[in-house]
A and B are shown apart, each in its own frame.
Chain A
Amino acid sequence: MSRGWRKTVPVRYQLLNNNTVEKSIEYANITRDLLPMRFSRWGKVWTAILLAFCAAGAFAWILQLKNGLVVTAMGDYVSWGIYISNFVFFVAISLVGSLITAVLRLANVHWSTPLTRIAEIIAVSAIVFASLIIVVDMGRPERFLNLLLHGRMQSPIIWDVIVISTYFILSLLLLYFPLLPDLKILIRAKETTGPRLNKLYRFLGSFWKGTPEQVRLSEKAINIMCVTIIPVAFCIHTVTSWLFATTYRPGWDSTNFGAYFISGAFLVGAGAVVVAMFVFRKAYHLEKYITELHFDKMGKVLVMLALLYLYFNINEYLVPAFKMRKPEAAHLEDLFAGEYAPMFWFAIFTGMLVPIVILLFKKGRRPLPMFIAGLMVVVGAWFKRYLIVTPTLLHPFLPMQGVAEKFHHYFPSWQEWAITMGSLAGTLLIITFFARIFPIIPIHETIIEQHEKAV
Chain B
Amino acid sequence: MKRLYNYLPVCVCVLALLTIGELTAAQETTKQDSTRNDVLVTVGYHNVNNQWSYLSVHAKAKLNGKFQSVKGAKFHVYLDKDSAGTLVGDLVTDDKGDAVTTLKPSLKDQWKSGTTHTFIALYDGDAHYNASKTEAVVKEARLKVDTAEGRNIVVSVEELKDGAWTPVKAVEIKVAVKRLQSDMPVSDKESFTTDSTGKITAEFKRDGLPGGDKGLLTLIAKVEDNDTYGNLQVEKTVPWGAVLKPVSNFDERSLWAARFKTPVWLLLMEYFIFFSVWSVLIYLVFQIARIKKAGMPG
Contacts and interface: CB of A to CB of B under 8 A. Distances in A.
Is A in direct contact with B (CB under 8 Å) within the complex? yes
Interface of A: 150-154, 159, 162, 166, 169-170, 173, 176-177, 180, 207-209, 211, 213-214, 217-218, 220-221, 224-225, 228, 231-232, 235
List the 8 closest A-B pairs by CB distance, nearest first.
A207-B295, A207-B292, A213-B294, A209-B295, A153-B262, A221-B287, A214-B294, A154-B255
A235 B273 contact: yes
B284 to A, nearest CB: 5
A166 B277 contact: yes
A169 to B, nearest CB: 6
B281 interface: yes
Main secondary structure of the interface of B (DSSP, over half): helix
A150 B258 CA distance: 10
Given A166-B281, A170-B281, 4 more contacts: A154-B266, A211-B295, A213-B294, A228-B280
Main secondary structure of the interface of A (DSSP, over half): helix
Given A154-B266, A228-B277, A214 B284 contact: no
B274 interface: yes
Nearest to A209: B295
B291 A152 contact: no
B104 interface: no
A62 to B, nearest CB: 33
A224 B283 contact: yes
A232 B295 contact: no
B259 interface: yes
Contact of B259 (A152, A214, A218, A221): A152
Contact of A173 (B256, B278, B281): B281
Interface string B245-276: 00000000001111100110011001001100
A85 B227 CA distance: 70
Contact of B291 (A170, A217, A235): A217
A153 B277 CA distance: 17
A158 to B, nearest CB: 9
A389 to B, nearest CB: 24
A208 B267 CA distance: 41
A43 to B, nearest CB: 32
Contacts of A232: 277
B274 A162 contact: yes
Contacts of B84: none
A101 to B, nearest CB: 14
B262 A218 contact: no
Contacts of B280: 224-225, 228
Given A153-B266, A153-B267, A159-B270, A217 B287 contact: yes
B296 A207 contact: yes
B290 interface: yes
26 contacts: A150-B259, A152-B259, A153-B266, A153-B270, A154-B262, A159-B270, A166-B274, A166-B278, A170-B277, A173-B281, A173-B284, A173-B285, A207-B291, A207-B296, A208-B291, A211-B294, A211-B295, A214-B291, A217-B287, A217-B290, A217-B294, A218-B287, A218-B291, A224-B280, A225-B284, A235-B273
A24 to B, nearest CB: 22
Nearest to B274: A162
Contacts of B287: 217-218, 220-221
B239 to A, nearest CB: 43
B291 to A, nearest CB: 5
A151 B294 CA distance: 41
A154 to B, nearest CB: 5
Contacts of B266: 153-154
A183 to B, nearest CB: 11
Contacts of B288: 176
A153 B259 CA distance: 7
A231 B276 CA distance: 11
B281 A169 contact: yes
Contacts of A180: 291
Contacts of B267: 153
Contacts of B296: 207
A364 to B, nearest CB: 39
A225 B285 CA distance: 11
A151 B259 contact: yes
A356 to B, nearest CB: 35
Contacts of A220: 287
A218 B296 CA distance: 15
Contacts of A166: 274, 277-278, 281
Nearest to A184: B295
Nearest to B280: A228
Given A170-B281, A173-B284, A232-B277, A214 B262 contact: no
Nearest to A210: B295
Nearest to A235: B273
Contacts of B273: 235
A236 to B, nearest CB: 11
Nearest to B270: A153
